[in-house]
Structure 1
Amino acid sequence: MSASLWLAYDHYGYALLAVVGTFAAVSGVYRLAHHPRCAGWLLSWQGVAPPFINILGVLFGLTLAFLANDTWSAHDRAIRAVYREADAMRTTLALSQNVPAPLASQVRGALAQYAQASVDEWGWLAQRTANPAVADRADALLTLIASAGVREALGANVQTLLLDQIVTMRDERDQRVTLSQTHVNPLKWLGMAFLGLLTLLSVAVVHIERPRALLAAVVLFAFGAAPTAAIVLIQGNPFLAPVGVTSAPLQAVLNGLTAR
């Protein structure tokens, strides 16, 4: 696998590691509990009260919940950024309708070039990078809107509104680029994995004298924890297909610009 592909899809690798690692830990705990050399020593630990699981279980659940909240919050912010960017583009188009014909075509063309570059940037966002062409198109559009011709045609007040919309477009684009570069925080996930292991061990200790109950308990814990962690990890980059934010709002604006 090339470095670029791994950079784009490493979240899936971490998700697979979480699932495999969890069930490997389950297998290890169960084998240890039934190992002839360890069984007698481990039985000496029986008597741990079942409510003890709640202490570590709550810590583990809260840690995973916080990580999930960070991930899905980034996804929601990415959606809002894309829609606000598209809305600013529509507003720019509407406010520039009264520009004289030669200049109007330039504004429409510059806006269409920006929209096309933004739509094309989605492949870059999946790899947590930015397309420099988008910034160039935004600068060109800003320079055009700030020109004396636009001020003479629409007046200073409307030109100011247009400039505000261009700045909003740039800000929202910067927001989605920033969100695309969010990544798995190793310390957070190592802490969660450590708490998960401790929770697994506490479940095993509580059921140490009943092998079948021990197996059922640790397997159920694994089926609850591993897929949940994998789902959160897969959502790590809000612009990564197939579950990522799409460019549909920007594509709709682009279609409207090129259809006329």
Structure 2
Amino acid sequence: MIESWLDFPFWLGVPATLLVWLTTAAALWWFFQRSRLAPFWRDNLGVVAPYFSSVAVLFSLSVGFMGADIWQRAEQAQQSVLQEASNLKLLSNFAEILEPTPQPLAERICTYAKAVVQQEWPTMLLDGEASPTAETALNNLMLALTTPEFTARVDATLRREMLNAFNQVRKYRVNRIQLSSGHSHIGKWVLVIFLGFMTQIAIGLVQLDKPRAQTITLAVFSITAAVTLTLLAGMDQPFTEPFAVLNTPIADLARCK
């Protein structure tokens, strides 16, 4: 269920999350103030706020750790795209220097960049998977770097640098696809949501004798928790809107003949 929620489009996740948390807050208010057990709760006044604030502190810490993990994923995704494009650009520059001998190399770099932008990127966003076309284009690029004609005409040091750049392209492509195909560990989300609901209960217990204050505090916390978790869920998939890492650096390399 949590994975389904994380896969919601952002515009749908915001109202859905707000509805769930506000509904839970309303249910707790009814349970404490209007249910058959309401007299029992009124006879147990005296629960002090500092004692139950420990639950809120745990919730805040878990959200903080979750946010740090998600921001790290977003940074890794951004770096993967930038590094992939940077090493492709390096290979392209080498190809320009060595023209006209390795002309097929420049063409294959362009072909790979187009395959990533036009086919792999949409597939990656939809299914979190690589594109066979991009994989084939990358393999063809490797073949261009290892042909006997190429190795015979290119200096060994330069060839080594180009192969290293190619390996970096492959490495960061794998990182990009892996980051697009999953979320932060589901156990972390379970912990955060559980502590959030426990904080709602703690707030309700502190305000048992003040229905209006209980309503306000439950509503404020629920709205805050819902918006915070929705924003974190939106950033948990670094290649989806509205916080998406763009393919612009690679797209710039695809603008070739």
How high is the TM-score relative to the length of structure 2? 0.90
SS in 2 for 1:97: helix
**1:53 equivalent in alignment to 2:24:** no
Return the offset for 1:154: 2.3
**1:166 to 2:166 alignment:** yes
* 1:240 matches 2:240: yes
SS at match of 1:240: coil
What does residue 8 of structure 2 align with?
10
1:185-200 to 2 correspondences below 5 Å:
185-200=185-200
Shift of the 72–11 alpha-carbon distance from structure 1 to 2, 3 Å rule, reads farther
- Within a 5 Å distance, the mapping from 1:1-260 to structure 2 comes to 9-10=7-8, 12=10, 17-35=16-34, 37-101=36-100, 103-120=101-118, 121-127=120-126, 128-183=128-183, 185-255=185-255, 257-258=256-257
Structure 1 155/8 Cα, relative in aligned 2: closer, same or farther at 3 Å?
A: farther
In structure 2, the gaps of 5 or more residues are: none
Separation in structure 2 between the aligned mates of residue 144 and residue 16 of structure 1, nearest angstrom:
52
How far does residue 97 in structure 1 lie from its aligned partner after superposition? 2.4
Shifted more, 125-134 versus 198-207: the winner is 125-134
Percent of aligned pairs with the same amino acid: 21
Aligned residues, how many? Answer: 251
- Report the TM-score, using the length of structure 1 for normalisation: 0.89
The more displaced of 56-65 and 30-39 is 30-39
Deviation, structure 1 residue 11: 5.7
Q: 1:50 to 1:7 in 2, by over 3 A?
A: closer
Please report how far the alpha carbon of residue 139 of structure 1 lies from its aligned counterpart in structure 2 after TM superposition: 1.0
Report how far residue 238 of structure 1 moved.
Answer: 1.0
Shift of 1:156: 0.9
Unaligned stretches of 5+ in structure 1?
1-5
Separation in structure 2 between the aligned mates of residue 8 and residue 193 of structure 1, nearest angstrom: 13
Contact 2:114 2:254 in 1 (8 A): yes
Partners of 1:98 and 1:153 within 8 A in 2:
no
Code of the residue aligned with 1:113 in structure 2: it is: T
